[in-house]
Amino acid sequence: MSKSLIKDTLRAIRNNFSRFVSIMLIVALGAAFFVGIKATPKDMFSTAEEYFSEYNLLDLRVQSVAGLTDSDVEAINGIDGIDYVSGQKFIDALVTVNGSIETDIDGTQISTRAYSISPADIANYLNGVNDGAYINRVELIEGRYPTAVNECLVDASELSTPESYTLGSTITLQAEGGDAPSELSTSQFTIVGIIRSPYYLSFERGNTNIGSGKIGTFIIIPEEAFTTDYYSEIYIKIAGSDSYDPYSQEYLDFVSSYAQKIEAISGRQINKRLTVLKPELENKIAEAEKKIKDKSDSATTAMEELDETIAQLQELVDNGKDIVAAAQAEFNSKFSAAENNLATNTNEYNAAIEKYNQLKKELDTKTAEYNTNYSNYVKSKEAYDTLYSQCTSASSKVDFLNSTITTTNQMIAAGEAVLDGISDSQSDAFNAEQIQTIITMMQTTYPELYAAVQALTTQGLAGEIVVNIKPYLDTQKAKLAQAEKEIKEQKAVLDALKAQLETQGTKLTQATQELANAKKELEAASNQLNSYYTQLQSAGYDIQAGALELEIERLAAQSNLNALIEQVNEAPDNLNKAKTARLEAEAQLTSALALATSELNTAKNLYNNLDSVTWSIYDRTSAPGYESYGQSVKNIEILSNLFPMLFFVVSSMICLTTLTRMVEEDRTVIGTYKALGYENSAIILKYLIYSFLAGFIGSVLGIAIGIFLFPFAINSAYSIMFSLPSLNFEFPWLWAFIGFTISMLCTAFTTLLALRKELRNSPSIIMRPKVPKAGKHILLEKVTFLWKRLNFTAKVTMRNLFRNKLRFNMSIIGITGSCALILASLGMQNSIDAIAEKQYGDNAIAKYDFQLIFDNPQTTDTHTSEFSLAEDDARVEALMLTAMKSMTSFSERSDKVLDVYVLVPENPEELNDYVALKNRQSGENYTLDDTGAIITEKLAKTTKTDVGDTISFEDSDGNVYDVKVSAIAENYTFSFIYMTDNLYKKVTRTSPVYNYAIGRISSSLKANEENLANVKGLLSTDIMKIDGITTIAYTADTTQQISEITDALSTVIIVFFVSALILAIAVLYNISNINVIERQKELATLKVLGFMDNEVSRYIYRENIFISVFGIIYGIILGIIVHYGLITFTAIDAVMYGQTIEWHSYILAVLITISFIVLVNIMLHYKIKKVDMVTSLKSVE
Amino acid sequence: MSFIELTSVYKKYKTGEVTINALDGVSFNIEEGELCMIVGPSGSGKTTVLNILGGIDSCDDGNVRVCGELINNFDKKHLALYRRHDVGFVFQFYNLIPNLTALENVEMSTQVCKNSLDPVKVLERVGLQERLNNFPAQMSGGEQQRVSIARALSKNPKILLCDEPTGALDYNTGKQILKLLQDTIRETGMTAVIITHNTAITPMANRVITMRNGKVHRIAINDNPLSVDRIEW
């Protein structure tokens, strides 16, 4: 190469620096995009591979319903080629964090799988040993490993883990029903570390048979916390597995050969296990049966009591009014009679008192009478007494006289007797005794005589006595006579007196009689009065007591009556309460029984199926997220096959035209060199150096930027969904080589081709200007009627367009490609936005605003109090019970399996008020009925299911059910199978468990959007206060979480979008620029002919507009295809993208494309303005 | 007042550090209806004069008056209008739009002009009635130059400017073209300026301006111009 040629080469670069740079940049763009996108999946795979190997991700996993033992571990370890085997325990439990319930993305209480970590593994970590014994090693992101039995490590995933999972928080694990799990010795764990596990690549955590059926998060707790004596699963690490690409078929085949070996020893091991397990299970079953019986017995008694109460209350509710009325009437009648009675009695009493008073008066009269009588009597008595005393004294006188007479007579008689005795009888005969008697007699009557006789007797001289007596006798006789006389007189007086006394006596007797009578009368009256008084008094008491008693009675009756009324009034409430209590009791019983029964059934099932127990052996594809990561990366791979090629095609075409143009421009120079005797190779070298430098620098620059920029951007987008260590940037030798080669082909090779064409000719021809491409009649001219109608400039435009087909096609491809990429990007954004907008926005599919989760299964016919309380809240417009269970669904038409929710609404006819079931295209509304299930579109697409086909779904216990599909409904987030209660029962032979309710907030509250957040907050607080409601979840929050996932893709789309825009500008500008340069002379001629600058520009524009119209039309078509490809290939399970591009995106895409065209044309205008008439006319370029 | 007056026209081109005085005080007049030829060696400034007259270049100093108007004061737009309505240009390399037929090339020019002639008639006059729908590539050089002339004439311009119209043509064809130009000018009374380096053909002109080194060397007036047929070279 001569010196001057080198000089010329360098000057060529300097003089055409802008072209040089433009080629370089376009090559860089194409190479960056191509190599970058191609490198992305490789980097992502390699990151995963390294991660798996670094953290010893298991190769195989063995599970058995009968549990696994150390013996199993040893047996598997004995298999040749198996490096490490480790027994693992885990339980699935519901979680509360710091005492409050956390909800999952779908609004259900979050559940967790708690794995054990053995002391050996912890020691392994602490000693920094990584020999592979610690399988599924977790990556500690924050904190430390547990050292105590009540410490745990938690899941770091932002999507699946609640925000409250922070170091120091306390996690409480609960079995279903809220009890502490029986498998654990402690249920409370303090978070000491936050981890990432290679086993969980994505936010998916797998399924379980508790809670909503979906595991929300995982934690790791020390093995000592487990009380179980068997392993839940066994992890296996195979020697040499790391040398395989984990996502290759070779790896799966390799692993599968070991799975077969493990299966071969499983039978023997299972038998060993069964001998231990059988008696254990028998005990367990017996215990469970007893528990169920006890529970059901006690509950039945309680419920019977409740039933009685309910019957009574029901009676009160039904007849309460009548009962109250009757009681009132009875009360009235009873007390009016009694009061009447009391009144009568009082009247009588008053009358009696009057009579008493009268009687008293009478008694007074009688007393007065008596007193008169008494005084009479006293007088009479006095008179009588006087008389009587007179009479007495007279009588005594008589008596005295009589006695004197008697005594005298006696003395006389005695004296005479003595005298007679002495005289008649001998003195001797007179005995002393007789004498003595006489003397004694005398003693009283005749004391003198007695004395005399005494003296005489004492003297013993009887004879003397006689002498003495005789005189005495005589005197006595005289005295007697006297006395007799006197007595006579006296007797007369006495008689008179006696007569008088007798009269008086009669009188007195009369008076006495009268007095006695009066007294008697008085006494009688008094007695009467007294008795009357007593009577009266007692009557008074009676009346008072009666009144009092009546009052007391009345008050008591009144209070009874009031109580009754109150009872009746409260009866409906109480009835409801009683009913609620009954329902609660029933629900509790049901759930308790269900729980116990399910435990029992599990045990029984296990027991019954012990003979058929097998080991389930899983490889990594069963790890949640493993496949979806692979799939996502493969999606990018698919994208990387499509997009960068498009880029490369476009950028290489630009290089091709630009460089061809350059060679053509230099035609005369080339001819001159050739004519001067330069070798072809030397000439070629000049242009080769130029194009090689541009291509080399461009591609190296592009590759260098691309291998970092694109993997980084795309991986960061996906890192929201997948949790992996930071990306490995690997140098993609192959793709870099291909990218470099293609770049070189686009530049150097293109130059060679163009040169070869020129160099074939002789110098003389090359030296002369190239004959302009001949004008040709175009096909359109044959359509004369149309051609004639076109005005002149249109004709020119047409001819110009078809004259240079390469440029025309390239321009169209450029615009088509750009427009398609822009439309696809915008459409993809629509599809992503549609998920949230169409699912939850205005007039959306999910019309419900929130979902409630109940502690216990709900009854459908009569609702529980917690349901009613929530339903009656003024802010709640409507509420409906739903049964929801997470399952997997598939069909025989496709090998794809999708996670679905089987949803049974309480009232199928109302379901449309909560979830719009409609055809996406026709808008036809569907109603759920017993004829078949309604499934959502994503599910239908994935399983290739049409209306009328049968679809299968499998619960977490492995039961598979088939149901006929009656309609396919539009839906964007998650997948659902909607069934009526009847259909569900028919299909699964079990009843749906209504654990959820979906509800709407009243529309007036929703209208005030600013306040809505407040309303929701308050509603949450109030709803959560209701006993029996576990939690409330708003669909808007779900939207937020969904959008986090889809934002990842948005980012990727934005990367594409921006690249597309840059490409669009580059393509359009380059093509237009070449167009102007190539036609400089033509444009100059036009100017000389007097065309204005803008007229000249318009002349070019017209062509551009025509190209643009074509390009945009093709671009829209291609964009739709690319968009379809994107939403098909980049699909993720949880969501269905909006299937259509919104009309405004079409408009926007067209506008963006047009605005770029306009922008480029404006730049072109200045370029046209600059075309110098003088220089361009001088010669042919 | 003459139809075309150039008074002390200067034009400098700067290329890097070198300044070339393309026109160094050029003054001359051309009367209406005259056929004027400007001759001179390469680099004498004749094309520059033509470009300035045609309104596709501007002078740095001096006055250029055409038909009483000072075109050196025109702005770009006026210049374009001037070119459009008043000037017919015939180029050495014809400068036909390759993509248009003969007729369309003429139409393109008449389309923007007010007093244009019927393109077909003009083409008939230049003897191309048979070639109306042929593309430039399908025609010989002479025919192409006829189209170019027809395009210039069809505008019915005040002045016709021809830049070496025979420069790319052989003797006979060149002669035919010159004849065509002479006849047309005679018939229409148009003012024409033809640039040529071939002094042999100057006898056909009314006025011959010889230029040297950017200056007018000599102006010769020929009251009896010869017909082209009688000129041999």
CA A451, chain centre distance (Å): 145
Q: Determine phi and psi for A1092, rounding to 5 degrees.
A: -70, 160
How high is the mean pLDDT of chain B? 86
- Identify the H or E element spanning A529: helix A462-608
User: CB-based contacts of A1147: which residues, under 8 Å, 6+ apart?
Assistant: none
DSSP state of A430: S
Cβ of B101 and A775 within 8 Å?
A: yes
CA A230, chain centre distance (Å): 33
Q: What is the mean pLDDT of residues B214-222?
A: 89
Cβ of A1173 and B57 within 8 Å?
A: yes
pTM, rounded to two decimals: 0.61
Q: Rounded to an integer, what distance in angstroms lies between the CA atom of residue A927 and that of residue A947?
A: 14
Q: Rounded to an integer, what distance in angstroms lies between the CA atom of residue B59 and that of residue A22?
A: 36
CB distance A815 to A827 below 8 Å = no
Q: Rounded to an integer, what distance in angstroms lies between the CA atom of residue A181 and that of residue A89?
A: 14
A773 and chain B: CB distance < 8 Å anywhere?
yes
Which residue in the block uniquely carries the two structure tokens 């163009």? A754
pLDDT given at position A772:
59
What number of other Cβ atoms are within 10 A of residue A470's Cβ? 11
Q: What is the mean pLDDT of residues B164-186?
A: 84
pLDDT band at A968 (very low <50, low <70, confident <90, very high): very high
A776 chain-B contacts, CB cut-off 8 A: 135
Same domain, A161 and A177: yes
User: What would the pLDDT profile of A279-304 be if each residue is shown by its tens digit?
Assistant: 888 887 888 788 788 878 887 888 88
Asked if the model's pLDDT at residue A1124 lies above 90, the reply is no
Same domain, A289 and A236: no
pLDDT given at position A90:
92
Q: Give the chain B residue nearest A1086 (alpha carbons).
A: B109
Residue, of A409 and A217, whose pLDDT is higher = A217
pLDDT given at position A1035:
79
Asked if the model's pLDDT at residue A605 lies above 80, the reply is no
Return the minimum-mean-pLDDT range out of A65-74, A478-487, A704-713: A478-487
Reading the block at residue B32, the tokens are 């209406």
Same domain, A115 and A258: yes
Count Cα atoms within 13 angstroms, Cβ side, for A426. Answer: 2
Q: Classify residue A1043 as exposed, middle or buried by CB count within 10 Å of its CB (0-12, 13-18, 19+).
A: middle
pLDDT given at position A222:
92
Give the E-state strand segments of A918-959 in sequence order: 933-936, 950-954
Asked if the model's pLDDT at residue A975 lies above 60, the reply is yes
Asked if the model's pLDDT at residue A599 lies above 80, the reply is no
Q: Rounded to an integer, what distance in angstroms lies between the CA atom of residue A232 and that of residue A150?
A: 20
Q: Is residue A465 part of a domain?
A: yes
Q: Which domain holds residue A241?
A: 53-281
Sign of the four-CA dihedral A397, A402, A405, A410: negative
Nearest C-alpha of chain B: how many angstroms from A802?
10
User: What would the pLDDT profile of A911-936 be if each residue is shown by its tens digit?
Assistant: 888 898 988 888 888 988 889 999 99
Count Cα atoms within 13 angstroms, Cβ side, for A317. Answer: 16
Residue, of B189 and A1024, whose pLDDT is higher = B189
pLDDT given at position A977:
93
User: CB-based contacts of A906: which residues, under 8 Å, 6+ apart?
Assistant: A860, A880, A881, A882, A981, A994
Give the E-state strand segments of B40-152 in sequence order: 61-66, 69-70, 87-90
Which residue in the block uniquely carries the two structure tokens 């599919």? A845
Q: Is residue A1146 part of a domain?
A: no
What torsion do the CA atoms of A901, A624, A94, A277 make, to the nearest 10 degrees? 100
Cβ of A776 and B87 within 8 Å?
A: no
How high is the mean pLDDT of chain A? 81
User: What would the pLDDT profile of A1092-1114 be if each residue is shown by its tens digit?
Assistant: 888 888 888 888 888 888 889 99
Instruction: Enumerate the β-bridge partners of residue B24.
Output: B10
Q: Rounded to an integer, what distance in angstroms lies between the CA atom of residue A343 and that of residue A350?
A: 10
% chain A with pLDDT above 90 = 9
Same domain, A402 and A454: yes
Q: Least CB-CB distance to B112: which of A775, A795, A1091? A: A1091
Which residue in the block uniquely carries the two structure tokens 């044959």? A782
Cβ of A1088 and B56 within 8 Å?
A: yes
Angle at A701 between CA A699 and CA A705, to 5 degrees: 115
Same domain, A36 and A133: no
Residue, of A742 and A1010, whose pLDDT is higher = A742
Radius of gyration of chain B (CA): 17
* B61-66: strand order across its sheet: B18-30, B4-15, B61-66, B69-70
Q: How far is CA A935 from CA A375, A471, A889, A900, B165, in A?
A: 130, 177, 11, 10, 83
Asked if the model's pLDDT at residue A206 lies above 50, the reply is yes
Q: Rounded to an integer, what distance in angstroms lies between the CA atom of residue A497 and that of residue A707?
A: 178
Asked if the model's pLDDT at residue A183 lies above 80, the reply is yes
Q: Least CB-CB distance to A775: which of B47, B80, B99? A: B99
Instruction: Enumerate the β-bridge partners of residue B163.
Output: B195
Helices A462-608 and A249-424 meet at what angle, rounded to 10? Answer: 170
pLDDT given at position A942:
87
CB distance A242 to A255 below 8 Å = no
pLDDT band at A967 (very low <50, low <70, confident <90, very high): very high
What torsion do the CA atoms of B223, B229, B230, B233 make, to the nearest 10 degrees? 110
Same domain, A13 and A62: no
A796 chain-B contacts, CB cut-off 8 A: 97, 99-100, 104, 108
Same domain, A890 and A756: no
A1090 and chain B: CB distance < 8 Å anywhere?
yes
pLDDT given at position A429:
47
Tell me which long-range contacts A1126-1131 makes (C-beta under 8 A, separation of at least 24): A1126/A639, A1126/A824, A1126/A827, A1126/A828, A1126/A831, A1127/A828, A1127/A831, A1129/A635, A1129/A638, A1129/A639, A1130/A632, A1130/A635, A1130/A639, A1130/A1049, A1131/A635
Asked if the model's pLDDT at residue A535 lies above 60, the reply is yes
pLDDT given at position A950:
92
Same domain, A327 and A386: yes
Q: What is the mean pLDDT of residues A793-799?
A: 77
In terms of DSSP bridges, do strands B159-163 and B87-90 run parallel, antiparallel, or are they unpaired?
parallel
Q: Is residue A12 part of a domain?
A: yes
What number of other Cβ atoms are within 10 A of residue A321's Cβ? 11
Instruction: Enumerate the β-bridge partners of residue A109.
Output: A103
SS3 A605: helix
Q: Rounded to an integer, what distance in angstroms lies between the CA atom of residue A500 and that of residue A274?
A: 145
pLDDT band at A1080 (very low <50, low <70, confident <90, very high): confident
pLDDT band at A309 (very low <50, low <70, confident <90, very high): confident
Mutate to test the interface with B, among A15, A1088, A1102 (most CBs of B within 10 A): A1088
DSSP state of A230: S
pLDDT band at A422 (very low <50, low <70, confident <90, very high): low
% chain B with pLDDT above 70 = 100
Cβ of A792 and B107 within 8 Å?
A: yes
- Identify the H or E element spanning A92: strand A90-97
- Closest listed residue to residue A663, CA positions, set A789, A549, A758: A758
Asked if the model's pLDDT at residue A431 lies above 80, the reply is no
- Closest listed residue to residue B198, CA positions, set B92, B55, B51: B92
Domain B32-57+83-230, CATH number (from 3.40.50.300, 3.40.50.720, 2.40.70.10, 3.40.50.1100): 3.40.50.300
Same domain, A7 and A72: no
Same domain, A68 and A146: yes
Q: How far is CA B57 from CA A123, A787, A1084, B74, B159, in A?
A: 91, 38, 12, 11, 16
A1091 and chain B: CB distance < 8 Å anywhere?
yes
Q: What is the mean pLDDT of residues A576-591?
A: 76
Q: Rounded to an integer, what distance in angstroms lies between the CA atom of residue A668 and that of residue A674?
A: 10
- Closest listed residue to residue B127, CA positions, set B179, B193, B188: B179
Q: Least CB-CB distance to A1092: which of B77, B136, B151? A: B77
pLDDT band at A791 (very low <50, low <70, confident <90, very high): confident
Nearest C-alpha of chain B: how many angstroms from A3?
24
The size of chain B, in residues, is 233
Cβ of B136 and A1095 within 8 Å?
A: no
Q: Is residue A1066 part of a domain?
A: no
- Identify the H or E element spanning A1169: helix A1143-1170
pLDDT given at position A106:
61
A1092 chain-B contacts, CB cut-off 8 A: 77, 80
Same domain, A250 and A308: no
Angular region, A86: left φ>0, alpha ψ -120 to 50, beta rest: beta
Cβ of A792 and B111 within 8 Å?
A: yes
A8 and chain B: CB distance < 8 Å anywhere?
no
| Domain finish residue from A552, A569, A591 | A591
SS3 A801: helix
Domain count across chain A? 4
User: What would the pLDDT profile of A320-348 be if each residue is shown by its tens digit?
Assistant: 788 888 888 888 887 788 788 888 888 88
Q: Which amino acid does the sequence have at B2?
A: S
- Identify the H or E element spanning B189: none
pLDDT given at position A1181:
39
Q: What is the mean pLDDT of residues A96-103?
A: 80
CB distance A571 to A388 below 8 Å = no
A1081 chain-B contacts, CB cut-off 8 A: 95
Q: Rounded to an integer, what distance in angstroms lies between the CA atom of residue A43 and that of residue A730?
A: 6
Q: Is residue A1074 part of a domain?
A: no
ipTM confidence: 0.87
Q: Rounded to an integer, what distance in angstroms lies between the CA atom of residue A915 and that of residue A935?
A: 12
Interface of B with A (CB under 8 A): 47, 51, 54, 56-57, 76-77, 80-85, 87, 89, 91, 93, 95-101, 104, 107-109, 111-113, 135-138, 151, 155, 163
Nearest C-alpha of chain A: how many angstroms from B53?
12
Q: Classify residue A325 as exposed, middle or buried by CB count within 10 Å of its CB (0-12, 13-18, 19+).
A: exposed
Q: Least CB-CB distance to B99: which of A803, A1086, A1090? A: A803
Instruction: Enumerate the β-bridge partners of residue A116.
Output: A221
Same domain, A501 and A577: yes
Asked if the model's pLDDT at residue A958 lies above 90, the reply is no
Q: Is residue A1170 part of a domain?
A: no
Reading the block at residue B132, the tokens are 């109306």
